[in-house]
């Protein structure tokens, strides 16, 4: 929710009222009262577009030179014909150098990491500005090469924000603040990965942007995606253990766990994310009682569902439903 608050703050600083933006994003104003409440990627994507439209700035007014509406479309086209990840990153950095005045990007590639340096012209940027830049660059790069790229570390000049745990989910666990220089290190293999997207796939990507890359990129052909599709076909109460999922996918359980780890997820995390999304959908779109939703999602007791939902969103299920 801190990302929502920061995005709104950028808009309000330039005279745009939050009420119209929240309405455009289908976000209930009452949810802003809970710092741990969550919105869906689709909702945040709508908010992102509403603010970019209102300001005619896809960087939310965080640079002296606005990133005019349509810049990301041109950036995507400019990087599409790149040979590999390294060339794509170079083109992205060069394009953004033409668009932004206060923040520049340089590449430093060696055998151990691909380092993206974030160079401030003057004082350090805010955490939200660094995060906005990271979302644009990382989201586009992951899509171009067709896989989620591991983020090894991130060192930033800004002080640690109150919601640093949210930013660690966005970047990585090794997120350090008050550093003399800002940079993000990616896994070295991303430099050699070929660009696999086409003009046809770009149309779909841009139509769904930015919701499709506001969370860490999900390759629709990845093992995690296959597991998610299999679970969606079953009622949550019937979701199998990992050994049975592995057998259904013709692999050993250890192989399943290893490949999921390489993709940055676990089987339990996949189940938790799906349960959370289903819970939010049922609370918003049905008249089912809390007990009925808990039972449908495979919880033994409504109290267990209430505890899980509060852990996921920061609010109780009943409060979330009233806020919506």
84 plus 196 within the same structural domain: yes
165 plus 233 within the same structural domain: no
29 in any annotated domain: yes
Pairing of strands 182-186, 151-155: antiparallel
Domain end among 184, 213, 242: 213
Q: What is the dihedral of CA 228, 230, 231, 234, to 10 degrees?
A: 150
218 in any annotated domain: no
138 in any annotated domain: yes
140 in any annotated domain: yes
Looking at residue 193, its pLDDT comes to 94
Phi, psi of 178 (to 5 degrees): 60, 35
- CATH number of the domain residue 258 falls in: 1.10.10.60
250 in any annotated domain: yes
- Give yes or no for a contact between 209 and 44, defined as CB atoms under 8 angstroms apart: no
60 in any annotated domain: no
Maximum alpha-carbon separation in the chain = 57
Domain end among 178, 213, 248: 213
Summarised one tens digit per residue, pLDDT across range 73-84 is: 999 999 999 999
85 plus 207 within the same structural domain: yes
78 plus 50 within the same structural domain: no
Task: Please identify every stretch of the chain with a pLDDT value under 70, giving residue numbers as ranges.
Answer: 34-37, 215-221, 264, 323-324
**CA–CA separation, 244 and 246 (whole Å):** 5
Summarised one tens digit per residue, pLDDT across range 108-145 is: 999 999 999 999 988 999 999 999 999 999 999 999 99
79 plus 43 within the same structural domain: no
233 plus 209 within the same structural domain: no
- pTM exceeding 0.85: no
151 plus 233 within the same structural domain: no
61 in any annotated domain: no
Count up the domains in the chain and report the number. 3
Domain end among 180, 213, 246: 213
Q: What is the dihedral of CA 310, 314, 317, 318, to 10 degrees?
A: 130
Containing domain of residue 142, as a range? Answer: 71-213
Strand partners, 106: 117
289 plus 157 within the same structural domain: no
**CA–CA separation, 277 and 172 (whole Å):** 23
**CA–CA separation, 119 and 106 (whole Å):** 8
Give exposure, 97-132, as e/b (b: 16+ Cβ within 10 Å): eebbebbebeeebeeebbbbebebeeebbbbbbbbb
189 plus 278 within the same structural domain: no
Looking at residue 34, its pLDDT comes to 64
82 plus 187 within the same structural domain: yes
Looking at residue 221, its pLDDT comes to 65
**CA–CA separation, 18 and 171 (whole Å):** 27
206 plus 228 within the same structural domain: no
28 in any annotated domain: yes
113 plus 193 within the same structural domain: yes
């Amino acid at each position: 929710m801190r990302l929502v608050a920061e995005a709104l703050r950028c808009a309000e600083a330039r005279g745009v009222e939050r009420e119209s933006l929240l309405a455009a994003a289908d976000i209930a104003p009452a949810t802003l009262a809970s710092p741990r409440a969550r919105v869906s990627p689709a909702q945040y994507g709508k908010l992102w577009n509403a603010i970019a439209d209102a300001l005619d700035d896809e960087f939310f007014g965080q640079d002296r030179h606005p990133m005019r509406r349509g810049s990301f479309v041109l950036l995507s086209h400019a990087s599409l014909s790149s040979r590999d990840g390294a060339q794509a990153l170079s083109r992205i950095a060069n394009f953004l150098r033409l668009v932004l005045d206060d923040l520049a990007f340089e590449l430093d590639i060696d055998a151990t990491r691909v380092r993206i340096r974030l160079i401030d012209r003057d004082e350090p940027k805010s955490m939200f500005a660094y995060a906005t830049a990271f979302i644009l660059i990382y989201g586009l790069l992951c899509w171009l090469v067709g896989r989620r790229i591991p983020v090894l570390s991130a060192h930033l000049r800004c002080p640690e924000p109150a919601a640093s745990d949210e930013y660690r989910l966005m970047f990585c666990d090794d997120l350090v603040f008050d550093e003399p220089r800002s940079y993000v290190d990616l896994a070295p293999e991303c430099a050699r990965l070929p660009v696999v997207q086409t003009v046809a796939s770009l149309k779909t990507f841009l139509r769904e942007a930015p919701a499709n890359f506001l969370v860490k990129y999900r390759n629709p052909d990845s093992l995690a995606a296959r597991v998610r599709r299999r679970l969606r076909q079953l009622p949550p109460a019937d979701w199998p253990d990992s050994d049975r999922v592995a057998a259904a996918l013709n692999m050993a359980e250890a192989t399943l766990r290893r490949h999921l780890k390489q993709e940055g997820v676990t089987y339990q995390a996949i189940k938790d994310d799906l349960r959370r999304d289903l819970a939010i959908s049922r609370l918003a779109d049905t008249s089912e009682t809390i007990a009925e939703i808990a039972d449908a999602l495979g919880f033994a007791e409504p109290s267990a569902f209430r505890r899980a939902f509060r852990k996921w969103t920061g609010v109780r299920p009943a409060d979330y439903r009233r806020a919506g």
